[in-house]
């Protein structure tokens, strides 16, 4: 006897495929480079070039501190989410009896529940690693900012190369942060699987639609175009 039905396998394959396809489209295609994330990458480099011309850089370091704090918050939240997901495994019997009384008519075996709970725990573990690495990269960027050449050297080839190097590291930190947030969003879609495979397909499609709208049609995206 198989643990999951054909419908469940199709739904989870759709979930994984949608996540992979979205990530590749946003990060690796010309279409994705028109998105909000890529537009902000360009402003990261602009920020580095503007900072190079400034003698006083305290405000820049304060902004960097705010970015680090935000990343640390999400990393901590990921650990809490992992703990919550593991709690689902510890209380399987109690939770199965509760969800059986819900109007959705959820019916699943203990093995299915535990496999689904492990799946969402893995998603949050992935998110934690992404946020933790992003936090570390933001620390590296802060070090690079501290070692930024003086404003009097801004026109030298070495200074310009340093700005590009710092901007690329900055972009990498932002990219890993975006991947962690993407895992959070897809985790919300994954919750639909606890109701059923068709709900998982619908919730995954809804998550992808919302994220695409934010990248290409949101007020934030239009505001960047009007700058």
pLDDT at 17 exceeding the cut of 90: yes
Residue 91, pLDDT score: 72
Residue 98, pLDDT score: 63
How far is 200 from 197, CA to CA, in rounded Å?
A: 5
pLDDT at 226 exceeding the cut of 70: no
Token readout for 73 is: 């918050």
Residue 208, pLDDT score: 97
- Where residue 103 falls among pLDDT bands split at 50, 70, 90? low
Please give the share of the chain, as a percent, with pLDDT higher than 70. Answer: 92
- Where residue 48 falls among pLDDT bands split at 50, 70, 90? very high
pLDDT at 113 exceeding the cut of 90: no
Residue 205, pLDDT score: 97
- Where residue 112 falls among pLDDT bands split at 50, 70, 90? confident
Least confident stretch, 156-160, 188-192, 221-225:
221-225
How far is 142 from 68, CA to CA, in rounded Å?
A: 9
Residue 106, pLDDT score: 65
Residue 189, pLDDT score: 96
- Residues 171-191: pLDDT tens digits? 999 999 999 999 999 999 999
- Interval 80-109 mean pLDDT: 74
Residue 102, pLDDT score: 61
Diameter over CA atoms, the chain: 73
Residue 7, C-beta contacts closer than 8 angstroms, at least 6 positions apart: 197, 198
How far is 68 from 38, CA to CA, in rounded Å?
A: 20
Minimal CA–CA distance to 178: which of 216, 224, 141, 211? 211
- Where residue 206 falls among pLDDT bands split at 50, 70, 90? very high
């Amino acid at each position: 006897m198989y643990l999951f039905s054909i419908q469940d396998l199709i739904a989870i394959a759709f979930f994984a495929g949608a996540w992979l396809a979205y990530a590749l489209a946003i990060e690796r295609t010309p279409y994705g480079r028109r998105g909000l994330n890529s537009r902000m990458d360009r402003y990261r480099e602009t920020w580095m070039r503007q900072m190079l011309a400034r003698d006083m850089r305290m405000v820049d370091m304060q902004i960097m501190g705010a970015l680090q704090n935000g990343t640390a918050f999400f990393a901590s939240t990921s650990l809490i989410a992992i703990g919550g997901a593991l709690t689902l495994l510890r209380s399987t019997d109690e939770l199965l009896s509760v969800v059986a009384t819900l109007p959705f008519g959820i019916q699943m075996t203990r093995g299915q529940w535990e496999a689904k709970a492990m799946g969402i725990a893995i998603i949050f573990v992935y998110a934690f690693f992404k946020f933790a690495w992003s936090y570390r990269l933001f620390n590296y960027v802060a070090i690079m900012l501290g070692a930024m050449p003086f404003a009097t050297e801004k026109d030298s080839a070495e200074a310009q190369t340093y700005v590009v190097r710092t901007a690329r590291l900055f972009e990498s930190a932002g990219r890993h942060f975006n991947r962690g947030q993407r895992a959070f969003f897809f985790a919300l879609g994954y919750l639909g699987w606890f109701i059923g495979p068709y709900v998982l397909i619908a919730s995954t499609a809804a998550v992808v639609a919302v994220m695409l709208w934010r990248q290409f049609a949101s007020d934030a995206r239009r505001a960047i175009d009007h700058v």
